[in-house]
């Protein structure tokens, strides 16, 4: 282990724990970010008109527009954060905010792919069934939320891991 | 005859009381810059960081953050009749009824996480000793209060948790117990409890409201102290799991928080002063 630490390579257990804990914390930060970004609707900036968590819950099989879907969405997004946190932890030797955003970019494409084929009530069908301008606000909202996750994950990796 | 709910002025006063204390603490700390007394602990220990929290402890801390945060937000939304709907919109919560649904449903998850927390810390991690109040905590309370009121320059080192952290932890525990009992009695999900008179219902509601805002005040304190730069190493350890050896030896009483199980560390009074002070 000493040799690995001397070479600047974190042991697997440290990486796994960082991925899990960091991924969860980054998912918490993203959830707070989504709440604040959606709250901007209240001051007239109507840019996220769909509910994040029920939409996410529908991807996990919950019926749309229900509180159950939102519960699934909340637990699903935390779990999603943990899994991608673990992937991030093992994908790089050193961590930076930009690398966190890079992993978030991959997540973005995974979610967009899912939304392209799974019909959700919040989207009003699949992403493919919408026009480009119809899909744009959803893509933008997703991108910003996931960028928050990625930035948080990268920041934690850069500053918090010994 | 009781009022139907805790009057808003009392709710605000409870929270403001805490905010005022933390504001005074912040200003006092900014001007006096107190430091832990005793210098660096004279303790032979291996190189490398010191374990502060294992992965399970970190996971339930952040799970509690999410669950208690949502229960508190929905609770405030119920108390102020939909005032926070705009903040709950991402959860599909658009009215008080949905808030009540979330407020009550999340309790089962919350109860599960609290059970994991208690079982893990008592039976597996065996860290109960660090959070229980001890006789020397009473002595430390007076020393710290003297420091707070300016009678001493520095404050004594503490174990993993100082007396105020312990008080906050047990205060929050008391709040959760009272909130749980009063909440479940009023909610009566399975109809086990007999019907209660309107007066008794009001009393339970007022108790529930008061302890909710007491809890909010304590949580504000928890967040404030976590964000104070002096506590950043401990906040960091709630993500990374460890504190550096330097922080451990400089900031903590190693006899009250032994880093290695079974290791007998010298008490803080025997700790040597930093080199520059000796010189």
> Which pLDDT score is estimated for B114?
96
Interface contact flag, A53 B91, Cβ < 8 Å: yes
More confident residue, B148 or B86: B86
Helix A97-117 and helix A52-59, axial crossing angle in degrees, nearest 10: 70
Q: Tell me which chain B residues have a C-beta less than 8 angstroms from the C-beta of A156.
A: 239
Model's pTM, two decimal places?
A: 0.87
Q: Is residue A2 part of a domain?
A: no
Is residue A46 included in any domain, yes or no? Answer: yes
Answer whether B93 touches A (CB < 8 Å).
yes
* d(C-alpha A25, C-alpha A146), whole Å: 13
Contact of A25 with chain B, judged by CB distance below 8 Å, is answered with yes
Of A22, A51, A69, the CB nearest to B90: A51
Largest CA distance in chain B: 74
Structure confidence at residue A105 (pLDDT): 96
Cross-chain residue pair B240–A34, CB shorter than 8 Å: no
Residue A31 belongs to domain spanning: 15-160
Do the chains contact at A24 and B59, CB–CB below 8 Å?
A: yes
Mean pLDDT, residues B191-220: 92
Interchain contact, B240 vs A67, CB within 8 Å: no
| Within a domain: A107 | yes
Cross-chain CB nearest to A20 (options B55, B89, B102): B55
Give B121's pLDDT tier (boundaries 50, 70, 90). very high
Give the pLDDT score at B142.
84
Residue A82 distance to chain B (closest CA, Å): 10
Residue found under tokens 């990374």:
B240
Tell me the three-class secondary structure of chain B, residue by residue.
CCCCCCCHHHHHHHHHHHHHHHHHHHHHHHHHCCCECCCCCCCCCCCCCEECCCHHHHHHHHHHHHHHHHHHHHHHHHHCCCCCHHHHHHHCCCCHHHHHHHHHHHHHHHHHHHHHHHHHHHHHCCCHHHHCCCHHHHHHHHHHHHHHCCCCCCECCECCCCHHHHHHHHHHHHHHHHHHHHHHHHHCCCCCCCCCCHHHHHHHHHHHHHHHHHHHHHHHHHHHHHHCHHHHHHHHHHHHCEECHHHHHHHECCCCCCCCCCCCCCCHHHCCCCHHHHC
Shortest Cα distance from B258 to chain A (angstroms)? 21
pLDDT value of position A146: 96
Report, as an integer, the average pLDDT of B66-87: 93
Residues on chain B touching A34 (C-beta within 8 angstroms): 90
Report CA Rg, chain A. 17
ipTM of this complex:
0.87
Q: What is the pLDDT of residue B259?
A: 74
pLDDT category at A3 given cuts 50, 70, 90 is: very low
| Of residues A48, A67, A159, nearest to B92 (C-beta) | A67
Phi, psi of B57 (to 5 degrees): -60, -40
Q: What is the pLDDT of residue B260?
A: 59
The reply to whether A4 falls in a domain is: no
Tell whether A70 is covered by a domain.
yes
Query: By CA distance, what is B47's nearest residue in A?
Result: A2
Our count of domains for chain A comes to 1
Q: Of all residues in chain A, what percent carry a pLDDT higher than 70?
A: 94
Asked, for residue A53, whether it belongs to a domain, the answer is: yes
Return the structure tokens found at B47: 């190189």
> Is residue A140 domain-resident?
yes
What pLDDT, on the 0 to 100 scale, is given for residue A4?
Answer: 44
- Classify residue A62: in a domain, yes or no: yes
Flag whether pLDDT at B262 surpasses 60.
no
Task: For residues A22 and B24, give the distance between their C-alpha atoms in angstroms, rounded to a whole number.
Answer: 33
Instruction: Output the pLDDT for position B162.
Output: 86
A85: pLDDT strictly greater than 90: yes
């Amino acid at each position: 282990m000493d040799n690995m630490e001397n070479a600047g390579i974190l042991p697997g257990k440290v990486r796994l724990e960082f991925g899990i804990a960091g991924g969860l914390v980054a998912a918490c930060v993203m959830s707070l970010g989504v709440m604040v970004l959606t709250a901007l609707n209240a001051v007239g900036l109507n840019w996220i008109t769909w509910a994040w968590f029920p939409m996410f819950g529908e991807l996990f099989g919950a019926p749309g527009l229900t509180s159950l879907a939102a519960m699934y969405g909340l637990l699903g997004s935390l779990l999603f954060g943990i899994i991608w946190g673990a992937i991030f932890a093992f994908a790089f030797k050193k961590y930076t905010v930009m690398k966190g955003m890079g992993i978030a970019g991959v997540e973005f494409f995974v979610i967009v792919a899912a939304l392209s084929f799974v019909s959700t009530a919040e989207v009003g069908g699949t992403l493919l069934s919408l026009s480009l301008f119809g899909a744009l606000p959803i893509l933008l909202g997703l991108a910003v939320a996931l960028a928050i996750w990625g930035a948080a994950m990268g920041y934690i990796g850069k500053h918090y891991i010994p | 005859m009781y009022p139907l709910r805790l009057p808003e002025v009392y709710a605000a006063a409870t929270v403001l009381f805490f905010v005022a204390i933390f504001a005074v603490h912040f200003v006092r700390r900014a001007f006096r810059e107190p430091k832990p007394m005793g210098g660096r602990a004279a303790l032979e220990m291996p190189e490398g960081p010191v374990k502060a929290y294992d992965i399970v402890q970190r996971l339930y801390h952040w799970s509690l953050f999410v669950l208690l945060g949502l229960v508190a937000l929905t609770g405030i939304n119920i108390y102020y009749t939909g005032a926070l709907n705009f903040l709950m919109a991402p959860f599909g919560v658009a009215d008080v009824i949905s808030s009540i649904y979330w407020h009550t449903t999340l309790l089962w998850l919350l109860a599960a996480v609290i059970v994991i927390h208690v079982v893990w810390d008592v039976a597996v991690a065996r860290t109960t000793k660090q959070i229980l109040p001890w006789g020397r905590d009473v002595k430390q309370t007076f020393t710290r209060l003297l420091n707070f009121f300016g009678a001493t320059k520095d404050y004594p080192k503490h174990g993993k948790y100082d007396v105020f952290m312990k008080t906050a932890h047990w205060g929050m525990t008391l709040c959760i117990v009272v909130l749980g009992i009063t909440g479940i009695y009023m909610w009566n999900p399975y109809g086990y409890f007999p019907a209660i008179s309107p007066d008794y219902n009001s009393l339970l509601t007022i108790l529930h409201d008061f302890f909710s805002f007491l809890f909010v005040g304590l949580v504000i304190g928890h967040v404030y102290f976590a964000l104070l730069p002096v506590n950043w190493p401990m906040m960091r350890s709630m993500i990374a799991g460890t504190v550096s050896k330097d922080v451990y030896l400089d900031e903590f009483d190693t006899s009250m928080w032994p880093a290695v199980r079974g290791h007998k560390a010298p008490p803080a009074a025997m700790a040597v002063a930093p080199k520059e002070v000796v010189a």
